[in-house]
Structure 1
């Protein structure tokens, strides 16, 4: 058994101030099969910096306080499908299957407190479709025009195409 006081953990924000108070619980709890993160988002803050999908992980968001808005792009194979906004209220839960593109934010006037759960714990295949914090720019392949790119493990590129393996840097996106 492991017990953790969330308030004792240091926040681990993403790379800018738009991502609120993010406290990963996975390592302190020593979980083997599920990733757990607690978020507190003030108005205008986001869970992540991009519309993304984990192709090998399902994600569940439990909204404990406030109201979160998720931009969702179903993984239908239709490259022209438009995103949909789904509002998840306090004490509601939303699940994203592997391959479903999403990004959540606080569009309200009150803070959002939520838990994000991902299983299996470690995800290797994360794909990006849109980067809202960069003026809602889409991320598509420069060679084959695939509508999303995988986060690259190559230190010289930020993204790689899952279809043709072309690479793309964030500056080009």
Structure 2
């Protein structure tokens, strides 16, 4: 048995106010598990994305999360769970006025190839995106268009307002 306290896990640099990766802390080998707290405007992910291998489920503890899907937005409220199949595009947001607390579960642990789509103003289209650590700033992540190399987002530890560079 392995037991951890969520608040004891270091917060990860993500487009959410709080993202605590529980997978390694619990020694999980077949399941990805992450705890999230989203303030209004925060997202679970850096981009609209799909996983080649992994299916993903989100359990909303409190608040309401809105997921962008190929079929349009889907709201998931407290004590509800939504599941996304392999290769199904999605991105979850907090579009409300109150915080969202949720668990994200993915299985198997491996993602496989992950397509990440973000809007690129230079290309005037949703394009695949690469994420990297910012070379010019400590504790920042940058999204770049794979077509033209333009920056499409930047996130900072403690300030996750990175939708537009």
TM-score category of the 2 structures, normalised to the smaller one = 0.7 to 0.9
Shift of 1:49: 1.5
Structure 2 CA distance for partners of 1:21 and 1:53, relative to 1, 3 Å = same
Structure 2 CA distance for partners of 1:71 and 1:28, relative to 1, 3 Å = same
Partner of 1:24: 21
User: What is the aligned counterpart of 1:171 among 138, 150, 164?
Assistant: 150
User: Does the 8 A contact of 1:49 with 1:131 survive in 2?
Assistant: no
User: Does the 8 A contact of 1:12 with 1:22 survive in 2?
Assistant: yes
Shift of 1:168: 3.1
User: Does the 8 A contact of 2:65 with 2:76 survive in 1?
Assistant: yes
Q: Does 1:36 align with 2:33?
A: yes
Partner of 1:92: 80
Structure 2 CA distance for partners of 1:30 and 1:84, relative to 1, 3 Å = same
Q: Give unmatched runs, 5+ long, in structure 1.
A: 74-82, 140-148, 153-157, 161-166
Q: Matches of 1:123 and 1:159 in 2, distance apart?
A: 20
Shift of 1:119: 0.4
Structure 2 CA distance for partners of 1:138 and 1:115, relative to 1, 3 Å = same
Shift of 1:170: 4.3
User: Does the 8 A contact of 1:38 with 1:116 survive in 2?
Assistant: yes
Q: Matches of 1:5 and 1:29 in 2, distance apart?
A: 10
Q: Which has the higher strand share?
A: 2
Q: Matches of 1:159 and 1:97 in 2, distance apart?
A: 26
Q: Matches of 2:125 and 2:20 in 1, distance apart?
A: 27
Partner of 1:109: 97
Partner of 2:139: none
Shift of 1:138: 0.7
Q: Matches of 1:169 and 1:26 in 2, distance apart?
A: 35
Q: Does 1:72 align with 2:69?
A: yes
TM-score of the two chains, using structure 1 as the length reference: 0.72
Aligned residue pairs total: 139
Partner of 2:5: 5
Structure 2 CA distance for partners of 1:169 and 1:25, relative to 1, 3 Å = farther
